Structure 1
């Protein structure tokens, strides 16, 4: 891997110092990084970040006594490794993988197949009764459960208190459930006749 030194071009002494420092301590840097992560690519990323950090502290490094230099370098690499690991953890929280044609998050495994079938049937029944719901209930349910708007946002849109939104949502859901159950009863009586 090629390491990039971020030292101004006109600072030839600084560039020579960093080049020599890297030649002498690169093995120490990689060994320190390898103790923190297992991937070779991650190791190289950490060392590059450490070198960039060291370049920013060039004047401090040049003033350090020789015995203190390796200790300073090890601490810099360890700090970069901690930052790298913390950043990777944040990234992993937000990753959604494509597996076998469906999206699933590592945090939320798919529910059992029976549950998915029931959800699909409920969605089909809701779709069938949707036009029979009052327009205001349709809009409220759509904004809450499809657009994901908060109760505060809904209260502002419908010009009422947040507590009223909860009551309206409960009533709208109850109406939808009654219509869905009524359709089930209607279907059952139609098939019995």
Structure 2
């Protein structure tokens, strides 16, 4: 569907552009198809050309038929050339997936030391998890795995939403103490 963008209230201009499009649309499409074979791109280029012509509607109204035809053809050709130029720029920046290296697409692995530290922390958390009280495990699971907000956690704990933050802090301290394995878990339990 072609859109005619003429100044508002310019009914003569709009009528002229509709008639012009009816008369010259086949010529416009044929001109573009000689340069660009894709029909979708052809439609876009003709729309751009019509928009460009709408800006010069009063100039076009005064042209004789042969000059008008030449003006339309040159406008369409220029839009097609601009499109081709733009496509070559776009293609320079696109890497086809068949030729892309998987190494470029994947995130780089962290250094071995970081992997080892992370693995040790995960193992420590796994061991500490079973030693945590059930309510603390459930609270941490709901907050950090299920991503529940404080209102939902308050409903689960049957407490005020303001109290949730303190309970989370206590549960995290207990888990950290158990992960360190320094026996401070007993002290943390008496504080809770």
TM-score (norm 1): 0.51
In structure 1, the residue matched to 2:131 is none
Counterpart CA distance in 1 for 2:40 and 2:48 is 12
Following TM superposition, by how much is the alpha carbon of 1:95 offset from its aligned partner in structure 2, in angstroms? Answer: 1.5
State the structure with more CA Rg.
2
In structure 2, the residue matched to 1:52 is 51
CA deviation string 1:87-136 (max 9, x = no partner) = 1111111123434xxx71xxxxx5xxxxx9xxxxxx99xx679xxxxxxx
Matches within 5 A, 1:129-140: none
RMSD over equivalenced CA pairs, Å: 2.6
Counterpart CA distance in 1 for 2:8 and 2:18 is 13
Is the strand fraction higher in 1 or 2?
Answer: 1
In structure 1, the residue matched to 2:61 is 62
Counterpart CA distance in 1 for 2:75 and 2:112 is 63
Q: Which runs of no fewer than 5 residues in structure 2 stay unpaired?
A: 114-192
In structure 2, the residue matched to 1:14 is 13
In structure 1, the residue matched to 2:38 is 39
In structure 1, the residue matched to 2:88 is 89
Following TM superposition, by how much is the alpha carbon of 1:11 offset from its aligned partner in structure 2, in angstroms? Answer: 0.2
* 1:75 partner SS: helix
TM-score (norm 2): 0.51
Give the total of aligned pairs: 110
Q: Which runs of no fewer than 5 residues in structure 1 stay unpaired?
A: 105-109, 111-115, 117-122, 130-193
Following TM superposition, by how much is the alpha carbon of 1:9 offset from its aligned partner in structure 2, in angstroms? Answer: 2.7
